[in-house]
Amino acid sequence: MSRSASRSFDTSRQSSNGAWAHRDVAIWLLVCCLMLAVMVLLGGLTRLTHSGLSMVEWEPIMGIIPPLNDADWQIFFAKYQQSPEYLKVNAGMSLAEFKGIFWLEYIHRVWGRAIGLVFLLPFLWLAFSGRIGRVMIPRLGALFLLGAAQGGMGWFMVKSGLVDNPAVSHIRLTAHLALAFLIHGWMFWMALDILASHRPAPRRLHGDSSGLGRWLLAVGALVVVTLLFGGLVAGLKAGLIYNTWPLMDGHLIPGDLFPGGLIGLFEDIKTVQFAHRCLAELTLVIALYTWFRARSRLGVSTPAAIHAVGAMAVLQVALGIGTLVLVVPVWLASAHQMGAMLLLTLCLWALNDLGRRP
């Protein structure tokens, strides 16, 4: 294709699709997705190591400056000593021990600010340089606002553990996690659309595979609901009890579920863990059925993303079982959390790819 023809093709693509953008925009979004994944990993490690309440103030601008000398450390430590966590859990903690929990929370917060800069500055440059279409600008602006809201949600979560009970609200923790996954998924989908817009011709859904899209959507929806209950499990520390599988409390279906009615589904430790187990197992069954269905309909032309979804679903359940049976080791629990993000990412990739197959 000649340069003039290529330019004509790009112009027509931009006019027919307001979300059209250069490939470098997709690369930038994928970099932001990767940074957000690291942020989720740091957040999980912060929670698992009980470091999240070590910083008792939220200073969006000045908070980027860490303690620089002994006097600064004494100020930070004195503030922490007034917190419920120190008074009720860590009374007598030394300054050296405090530094051990402080740095992880500090890195987590600073990394969030770094994501904001890596998103905002290129966004402004790309918008003014004309590398993104007009329709895409408000979408990217909405993503930035969601990112800012995520920072606020993080502090709203931490604040819940600084009042009386030295534990963050499991509802706020789950909302914080859900917003991170929403931002990640939206950015990833936009990047896939941009990359697809640079293919030689638009692709249409394969007639025989149309049903697969609905099954993949079901898998993705189950992954989302399951990870939300995973957030509740984490917030309630429900993974520290009933550490057997497949039986729970000696039964496939334990007794005393849903105390107080439906509210128990979100507040009762036993019910929340049971719901998370059931959702994970159902997700695995539907994911494997979708994979077998794809293999039978598409054969060797089955998209790699669908193979990846099936394999990752198996691995994710294995990680979950290992985390439970071994009573939540930090490294395994972190791998399980990141497995959820990877599985959702693969579902989005498979859906996007399937919808464009010839």
Q: Do residues 184 and 245 lie in contact, with contact meaning Cβ atoms separated by under 8 Å?
A: no
Which pLDDT score is estimated for 233? 98
Angle value at C-alpha 312, between 235 and 46, nearest 5 degrees = 30
Note the Cα 158 to chain centre separation in Å: 18
Q: Give per-residue pLDDT as tens, 185-197.
A: 999 999 999 888 7
Mean pLDDT across 279-289: 98
Q: Do residues 192 and 349 lie in contact, with contact meaning Cβ atoms separated by under 8 Å?
A: yes
Q: Do residues 65 and 106 lie in contact, with contact meaning Cβ atoms separated by under 8 Å?
A: no
pLDDT at 198 over 50: yes
Which pLDDT score is estimated for 14? 42
Which pLDDT score is estimated for 16? 38
pLDDT band, residue 15 (cuts 50/70/90): very low
pLDDT band, residue 321 (cuts 50/70/90): very high
pLDDT at 42 over 80: yes
pTM listed for this prediction: 0.90
Give the lowest-confidence range in 59-68, 71-80, 143-152: 59-68
Which pLDDT score is estimated for 208? 45
pLDDT at 357 over 70: no
Which pLDDT score is estimated for 129? 84
pLDDT at 355 over 90: no
Q: What percent of the chain has pLDDT over 70?
A: 90
Q: Which residues contact 221 (CB under 8 A, 6 or more apart)?
A: none
Sign, CA dihedral 162-167-172-178, equals positive
65 burial level (CB within 10 Å; 0-12, 13-18, 19+): exposed
Which pLDDT score is estimated for 247? 96
Tell which wins on pLDDT, 263 or 7: 263
Which residue shows structure tokens 């602006």? Answer: 141
